[in-house]
Structure 1
Amino acid sequence: MGNPSQTPSGRRFTGASGDEDIAGFVLDDGVVSAWSAAAERLLGFRPADVIGRPAAALWPEAFAGPSGDAAARGTGPAQRAVLTRRDGGRADVVLRTSRLLEPGGHEGGGTMVVAVPAPPPAAAEGQAILEALFTQAPIGIAVYDRDLRFVRINSALERIHGFPEDKALGRSVGEVLPGLDATAIERRIKGVLDSGRPVVNAVHQGRTAADPDREHVWHVSSVVLTAPDGDILGVTDLIVDITDRHRTRERLALLDEAAMLIGTTLDVRRTAEELVDVLVPRLADVATIDLLDDVVEGAEPEPMRRGPVAVRSLARTAVDPEIISRIRQPGELQNYPPDSPHVQSLADGRPRLIPVLDPGADWLCDSADERMQAMVRYGIDSLILVPLRARDATLGLVHLYRGRAREPFEPDDLVLAQDIVARAAVCLDNARRYTNEHMAALTLHASMLPRSVPDQSAVEVAQHYRPSRVHAGVSGDWFDVIPLSGARVALVVGAVPGTGFQAAACMGHICSAIRTLAQVDLTPDELLGQIDDMVPRLLEREHSTGSAPVVEGLKGSTCLYAVYDPVSRRCVMASAGHPPPAVVSRAGDVVIPDVPINNPLGQGDPVFEPLDLELAEGSTLVFSSHSLQRPTDTSETLAARLSSVVADRGRPIEETCRAISDLVAAHLTMEDGLALLLARTRPLDPGKLATWTVPPLPAAVGDMRSLVLRQLDQWGLEHLAFSTELIVSELITNAIRHGQGPIRLRLILDRTLICEVSDSASTSPHIRRAATTDEGGRGLFLVAQCSRRWGTRYALAGKTIWAEQPLEADPAA
Structure 2
Amino acid sequence: MNAYANNAATVDSGGTGRAHTFGGVAAAVLDHQGAVVRWSRAAQDLTGVTAEQVCGHPVLELVADLPDDLRNAPQMPASGRARLRHQCGNLIDVTFRTIEVESSAEFLLLAVPTHHVADHEQHEQGAALLRALSAQNRITIALHDTNLATVQTNAMPGTFDGHPVQPGTRLCDVLCAEDAQNLEAVLRQVLETGAPVVRTNQHVRWRNQPAQQHALSVSAFPLEDERGRPTGVAALYIDSTDAQRARRNLDLAREVAEQVGRSLDVVRTAQDLADVLAPAFGDLTAVVLAQSVPDGDEPPKQLGGGDLRLCTAALAPTTAAWPAGSKRGAPVPPLADHPLLRSSQHGKTVVYGRDDFIALMGGPQPAESVLPNDAHAVMVAPLYARGLTLGNIVVWRTGQSDPFTEDETDLMTQIASRAALAIDNARRYTREHKAAVALQQRLLPPATTDTPAAETAGVYLPAGGGADISGDWYDAIALPSLRLALVAGDVVGHGMPASATMGRLRAAIQTLADLELEPDELLTRIADLVQRLAAEAPPSDHDTIGATCLYAVYDPVTQRCAMASAGHPPPVLVRPDGTAETIQISPGPPLSVSGMPYETTTIDLEPGSILALYTDGLVEPGDRDIDQGLRRLTDALAASCRPDRALDETGRALLTGLVEEAPRDDATLLLARTRAIPAKDTAHWEIPADPAAVSKAREWTTHQLTRWGLDDLHFATELIVSELVTNAIRYGRPPSHLRLIHHNVLVCEVTDSSSSQPRLQRARTTDEGGRGLFIIAQLAARWGCRHGQNDKTIWSEQLID
Correspondence for 2:155: 155
8 Å CA contact 2:160–2:174 kept in 1: the answer is no
Task: Choose from 547, 554, 558 the match for 1:568.
Answer: 558
Letter aligned with residue 270 of structure 1: R
Give me the whole-angstrom Cα distance separating, in 1, the residues matched to 2:525 and 2:239.
Answer: 82
TM-score by length of 1: 0.79
1:588 partnered with 2:578 = yes
Choose from 577, 591, 616 the match for 1:601. Answer: 591
Inter-partner Cα distance in structure 2 for 1:498 and 1:341: 53
Measure how far apart 1:681 and its partner are. Answer: 1.0
Q: Does 1:763 align with 2:756?
A: yes
- Tell me which amino acid in the other structure corresponds to 1:690: A
Q: What is aligned with 1:17? A: none
| Residues 726-735 or 741-750, more deviating | 741-750
788-797 or 137-146, which deviates more: 137-146
Partner secondary structure for residue 181 of structure 1: helix
Letter matched to residue 535 of structure 2: E
Matched, 1:428 2:423: yes
Report Cα offsets for 1:400-456 as digits up to 9, x if no partner: 222242222232222111111100111111111111111110111111101354452
Whole-angstrom distance in 1 between the partners of 2:141 and 2:478: 93
The one-letter amino acid of 2:398's match is G
SS at match of 1:294: coil
Distance 2:418 2:436 in 1: 27
How has the CA–CA distance of structure 1 residues 345 and 658 changed in structure 2, closer, same or farther, with 3 Å as cutoff? Answer: farther
SS of residue in 2 equivalent to 1:357:
helix
For the 8 Å contact 1:793–1:799, the answer to whether it is kept is yes
Q: Any unmatched runs of 5+ in structure 2?
A: 1-20, 24-40, 49-107
Q: Is the 8 A contact 2:199 2:217 kept in 1?
A: yes
Shift of residue 496, structure 1, vs aligned partner: 1.1
Report the counterpart of residue 47 of structure 1 in structure 2.
none
* Match 2:277 to one of 238, 262, 279: 279
CA distance in 2, matches of 1:302, 1:604: 52
What does 1:145-544 correspond to in 2, within 5 Å?
145-146=145-146, 148=148, 150-156=150-156, 159-162=159-162, 164-166=164-166, 168-169=168-169, 171=170, 173-174=171-172, 176-178=174-176, 181-182=179-180, 184-193=182-191, 196-209=194-207, 211-306=209-304, 308-319=306-317, 321=319, 323-334=321-332, 336-340=334-338, 344-345=342-343, 347-358=345-356, 361=359, 363-365=361-363, 370=366, 372-376=367-371, 378-454=373-449, 456-469=451-464, 473-543=468-538
State the secondary structure of the residue aligned to 2:463: coil
Distance 1:706 1:472, change over 3 A: same
- Match of 1:248, SS? helix
In the alignment, which of 679, 682, 686 is matched to residue 675 of structure 2?
682
Aligned partner letter, 1:482: I
Cα gap change, 1:424/1:358 in structure 2, threshold over 3 Å: closer, same or farther? closer
How far the C-alpha of 1:344 sits from its partner, in A, is: 1.9
The equivalent of 1:661 in structure 2 is: 655
Q: In structure 2, what residue type is equivalent to 1:262?
A: V
Return closer, same or farther for 1:309/1:383 CA change in 2, 3 Å cut-off.
same
Distance 1:347 1:268 in 2: 21
Q: Which amino acid aligns with 2:213?
A: E
Q: 1:772 to 1:582 in 2, by over 3 A?
A: same
Structure 1 residue 641, shift from structure 2 partner: 2.8
Distance (whole Å) between structure 2 residues aligned to residue 722 and residue 798 of structure 1:
28
> Structure 1's 336 and 179: CA in aligned 2 closer, same or farther, altered over 3 A?
farther
Deviation, structure 1 residue 363:
4.4
Among 780, 785, 804, which residue is 2:773 paired with? 780
CA contact (8 A) 2:493 2:544 kept: no
Alignment check: 8 A CA contact 1:388 1:422 kept? yes
**Distance change (3 Å), C-alpha of 1:471 and 1:571:** closer
Cα pair 1:748 1:755 within 8 Å, conserved: yes
Equivalent-residue separation in structure 1 for 2:606 and 2:318 (angstroms): 65
CA shift digits 1:225-258 (9 cap, x unpaired): 3444444444322111121222111111111100
CA displacement at 1:165 relative to structure 2: 3.8
The amino acid across from 1:431 in the alignment is: A
Give the direction of change, closer, same or farther, for the CA distance of 1:134–1:493 in structure 2 (3 Å limit). Answer: closer
Letter in 2 for 1:795: G
In the alignment, residue 261 of structure 1 is paired with which amino acid? Q
Change (3 A) 1:408 1:127: closer
User: AA paired with 1:354?
Assistant: Y
Displacement of 1:592: 0.8
The verdict on how the C-alpha distance between 1:190 and 1:585 changes in structure 2, with shifts beyond 3 A counting, is farther
SS of alignment partner, residue 765 of structure 1: coil
Quote the Cα distance in structure 1 between the aligned partners of 2:201 and 2:267. 38
Return closer, same or farther for 1:185/1:335 CA change in 2, 3 Å cut-off: closer
Deviating more after overlay: 153-162 vs 392-401: 153-162
Q: State whether residues 698 and 718 of structure 2, in contact with CA within 8 Å, keep that contact through their aligned partners in structure 1.
A: yes
The superposition leaves residues 705-734 of structure 1 with CA deviations (integer Å, 9 ceiling, x where unpaired) of 122122222222222121111111111111
Q: Structure 1 residues 127, 423: CA separation in 2 closer, same or farther (over 3 Å shift)? A: closer
Pair 1:638–1:445, CA change in 2 (3 A): closer
Counterpart amino acid of residue 571 in structure 2: P
For residue 361 of structure 1, what is the amino acid of its counterpart? Answer: A
Contact 2:617/2:666 (<8 A) preserved: no
Tell me which amino acid in the other structure corresponds to 2:714: A
Does the C-alpha gap of structure 1 residues 162 and 531 become closer, same or farther in structure 2, counting only changes over 3 Å?
same
CA distance in 1, matches of 2:739, 2:257: 73
* Number of the residue aligned with 1:719: 712
Q: In structure 2, what is the Cα distance between the partners aligned to 1:323 and 1:706?
A: 87
Cα separation, 1, equivalents of 2:531 and 2:372: 71
- 1:744 CA drift (Å): 1.2
- The answer to whether the 8 Å contact 2:215/2:241 transfers is yes
Q: Is the 8 A contact 1:336 1:343 kept in 2?
A: no
Q: Give secondary structure in 1 for the equivalent of 2:256.
A: helix
Contact conserved, 1:479 with 1:493, CA < 8 A, in 2? yes
- Cα 1:345–1:797 change in 2 (3 A) is farther
Change (3 A) 1:627 1:191: same
> How far does residue 304 in structure 1 lie from its aligned partner after superposition?
3.4
- SS class of match (1:214): strand
User: Using the alignment, how far apart are the partners of 1:148 and 1:243 within structure 2?
Assistant: 24
CA contact (8 A) 1:201 1:221 kept: yes
Mapped to 2, the partners of 1:300 and 1:161 lie a distance apart of 51
Q: Say which is worse superposed, 398-407 or 469-478, in terms of deviation.
A: 469-478
Task: Report if aligned partners of 1:479, 1:677 keep a CA contact under 8 Å in 2.
Answer: yes
Question: Normalized against structure 2, the TM-score is what?
Answer: 0.80
Does 1:652 pair with 2:646? Answer: yes
Aligned partners of 1:179 and 1:206 also within 8 Å: no
What is the alpha-carbon distance in structure 2 between the residues aligned to residue 740 and residue 596 of structure 1? 33
Change (3 A) 1:282 1:773: same
Provide the C-alpha distance between the structure 2 equivalents of 1:403 and 1:320, rounded to a whole number of angstroms: 16
3-state DSSP of counterpart to 2:509: helix
> Residues 588 and 161 of structure 1: is their aligned pair in 2 closer, same or farther, counting only changes over 3 Å?
same
Rate the CA distance shift 1:124–1:795 in 2: closer, same or farther, 3 A: closer
